[in-house]
Amino acid sequence: MPQQSPYFASVSDVGKRLAAAGYLTDPAIATTVFLADRLGKPLLVEGPAGVGKTELAKAIATATGSGLIRLQCYEGLDEARALYEWNYKKQLLRIQASSDDAAWDAVHDDVFSEEFLLARPLLAAIRQTEPTVLLIDETDKADVEVEGLLLEVLSDFQVTIPELGTITAVRRPLVVLTSNATRELSEALKRRCLFLHLDYPSADREREIVLSRVPDIGTALADQIVRTVRALRALELKKAPSIAETIDWAHTLLALGLDTLNEEALRATLGVVLKHISDQVRAAGELRLN
Amino acid sequence: MTQGLLGHLADFVRALRSAGIPVGVSEGIDAAAVLGAVDVLDRRQLRAGLAAVLVKRAVHRPAYDTLFDLWWPSLLGEGSAAGQPSGDDSPTDPEALREELARLLLDGDLDIDNEALRRFARDAVASLGRGDAVPGRQSFFSYRVLRALSPDTLVSRLLDALLAGADRGGLAEQVARQTIRERIAALRAAIEDEVRRRVAEERGRDGVARTAIRPMADQVDFLRAQQQDLAALRRMVAPLARRLASRLAAKRRRGRSSRLDFRRTVRSSLATGGVPIVTHHRPHRPHKPELVVLCDVSGSVAGFSHFTLMLTAALREQFSRVRAFAFVDTCDEVTRFFAPGVDLLRATQRLSREADLVWFDGHSDYGHAFEAFVERWPDVVGPKTSLLVLGDARTNYRSPGLATLKGLVARSRHAYWLNPEPRRQWGSGDSAADVYAELIEMVECRNAEQLGAFVTRLLPV
């Protein structure tokens, strides 16, 4: 594979350019993204739902001016959906269109050529000549067999098709895998990846995120929202509110025209941050809303 | 120099391995590549960069951080050599330090990399933390620092300042309290880090590394879990049940080898001239696992039963046919407390208040509990039932009720006993575990890891 020039010059460059793409990093995120680019390794991002794992991949694509190819994993995902598939309808047409049996040899080689290959996300990403970010989303949802499928793609950036041979990447894509950690991914997969555990951000960073996503909200209210969300997270709820919920909440309060978060406002909008009724009851009790 | 740096890295990797973090050879090579790519003089970059290749599971991260601080300390000795001189102008008497602490805690959010916090911890440990470890030898202790500073007594002052005149007792106070709790926790962590660093300089880091690593969350013993472990463990058990449920659901959906539907196959073969090209199968009869959980909730296994109840609650959300029974010296059904969607902490509180568990004196009596179970719910355990008994099998020298248990095991489809005590203690003292183990498959289940292994291996499919 030809040496390709890295996208980012330094760790601080990563931070700056991701911030310009609307994603505020902390040193850990910036360093890991920088290493993924420098060492040419896939990046496995793990963490609870809604802390911005998918957003990170999108921001990297924006910051580097790359195209984004996304493979959404689900239970039952197979080779034909992830890697490639032969376009058998077109193959049939080709066979029927060729006139006599004289052309059999030609046809039989012909129907297994590039023309009849349907590239699915993994193969598509490998064959791109333009800069590409490949996002493999919710890897933990896929079956264990799919991980085996990913190994060849992730370590050597190549795909082997029995009828055609091995297709090697012209330009190595930047790969981001995300996982909610509902199950432990295999050691073989983890070994090939850089690991980044994204957790709920520090108060400072979360405040900045809210301010950058919802610019119309005042600093004081943003601060209040962030502190309240942190108090909620400390409660051991079924589903602790994540950054996505914090931002939704800020939008909600803004839309309602509230400029301070008091008991009344919290009671009215608790459904935005807590999505289980038992969590709401619990939070109301602990935060003395009644 | 390079040799020295690489050697140091190899040392660090070895320390990680001995702390139980699996680091392979290829990860070690990657770590060396990381040293070449990041700015090694920026500690935060180095920490994050090495973590990206060396730590592949979130539960390993705390141990990694502790070891990182020991192997790559931010500075040496008093800290005056590296960077700005501290010690001359910084206060050393406890009162002045307390003033500074109050200012620091009020000032803003503290994360572990906060420079002001680090400097404060350095000063505080240097002036307050020194004490005699053994006569004639000095060492550093975090409890001395924390006792002298007693950050908890600052809470009410901080609360007043944060609330800025707002009313006490409402939402604002709860939120402010949480903020203060977080900042004090950050302070404690910083002081403990600093003490470890100083001690490591005096006694060598290998010695400190051995004692400083807390067991990882899935290795913590149920019976010895401390308050902060409990929260981590609770978070681990919930996905365990969800994982189990999704695994069972997937198995049920995927199975295809059901019986051949001969009639439909012949019928459809007529379209292909009598050749049965497509076979038809009878639809699967859905297997509905029934689970009956019998759980000892007496004081001696309190930590353990909490988790099993939690597992029960989680299973209850996924399966309709889970029935839970709790016992101390008599038995009561507790399924109703774990309706899907209820809050678990509240459910356990209600359980201990409302359920009828104590018959005689509130010490476990397995014999009577089993008898009460069979007498009051004779038809709960049947040929489709998996029975799960949870308890330490310590009978207080009372009748173990072997015959009753034997009957239950014979009637059930599977029967397992999870015992939170280490295997070598089974049968010692008043434990009847060895006797029970002859009747029922008894599994040692001391921590979340063993529970996870059991769940994936055994539960009914």
For A222-241, what is each residue's pLDDT tens digit?
Answer: 988 998 998 898 887 878 89
Reading the block at residue B424, the tokens are 């070598």
The average pLDDT across B253-269 equals: 75
Per-residue pLDDT at A71: 93
Reading the block at residue A90, the tokens are 């077109």
Tell me how far CA of residue A263 lies from CA of A232, A234, A284, B111, in angstroms. 14, 18, 9, 28
Per-residue pLDDT at B79: 58
Q: State how far Cα A251 lies from the chain centre.
A: 23
The average pLDDT across B5-34 equals: 90
The average pLDDT across B322-339 equals: 82
Select from B184, B303, B133 the least CA-distant residue to B233.
B303
Lowest mean pLDDT among A98-102, A194-198, B70-74, B241-245: B241-245
Band (B82; pLDDT cuts 50, 70, 90): very low
Looking only at Cα atoms, what is the longest distance across chain A? 86
Q: Which of B78-87, B197-206, B238-247, B267-276 has the highest mean pLDDT?
A: B267-276
Per-residue pLDDT at A72: 93
Select from B370, B360, B410 the least CA-distant residue to B393.
B370
The average pLDDT across B28-55 equals: 90
Per-residue pLDDT at B85: 42
pLDDT: which is higher, B359 or A22: A22
Tell me which residues of chain A, numbers 132 to 171, contact chain B at a CB-CB cutoff of 8 Å. 143
The average pLDDT across B84-112 equals: 66
Per-residue pLDDT at B1: 45
pLDDT digits (tens, 9 = 90+) for A179-229: 987 777 888 899 899 999 998 988 888 999 999 999 988 888 898 899 899
Band (B87; pLDDT cuts 50, 70, 90): very low
Looking only at Cα atoms, what is the longest distance across chain B? 101
Q: How far apart are CA B127 and CA B448, in angstroms?
A: 41
Which residue in B30, B45, B242 is closest to A31 by CB distance?
Answer: B45
Contacts of B178 in chain A (CB under 8 A): 227, 230-231, 234
pLDDT: which is higher, A155 or A44: A44
The average pLDDT across A24-49 equals: 92
Which residue in B48, B56, B109 is closest to A202 by CB distance?
Answer: B109
Per-residue pLDDT at B81: 42
Per-residue pLDDT at B86: 44
Which residue in A28, A41, A279 is closest to B48 by CB distance?
Answer: A28
pLDDT at residue A76 is higher than 70: yes
pLDDT at residue B68 is higher than 60: yes
Select from B114, B76, B67, B88 the least CA-distant residue to B198.
B76
Interface mutation vs chain B, best among A46, A195, A200, most B CBs within 10 Å: A195
* CA-based R_g, chain A, Å: 24
pLDDT at residue B125 is higher than 90: no
What is the residue type of B103?
A: R
A164 Cα to chain B: minimum distance (Å): 31
pLDDT digits (tens, 9 = 90+) for B47-65: 999 999 999 888 888 889 8
Reading the block at residue B266, the tokens are 């012949």
Interface mutation vs chain A, best among B26, B109, B456, most A CBs within 10 Å: B109
The average pLDDT across A8-33 equals: 92
Contacts of A37 in chain B (CB under 8 A): none
Lowest mean pLDDT among A2-11, A156-165, A271-280: A2-11
Q: Which residue of B has its CA nearest to A282?
A: B343
pLDDT: which is higher, B344 or B338: B338
pLDDT digits (tens, 9 = 90+) for B345-381: 677 777 777 777 777 677 888 888 898 898 888 888 8
Query: Mean pLDDT, chain B, as a whole number?
Result: 78
The average pLDDT across A152-157 equals: 86
Q: Which of A134-143, B105-114, B122-131 has the highest mean pLDDT?
A: A134-143
Which residue in B27, B34, B61 is closest to A197 by CB distance?
Answer: B61
Q: Which of A23-32, A84-93, A254-263, B304-313 has the highest mean pLDDT?
A: A23-32
pLDDT at residue B258 is higher than 80: no
B52 and A228 within 8 Å at the Cβ level: the answer is no
**B61 near A CB under 8 A:** yes
Per-residue pLDDT at A29: 93
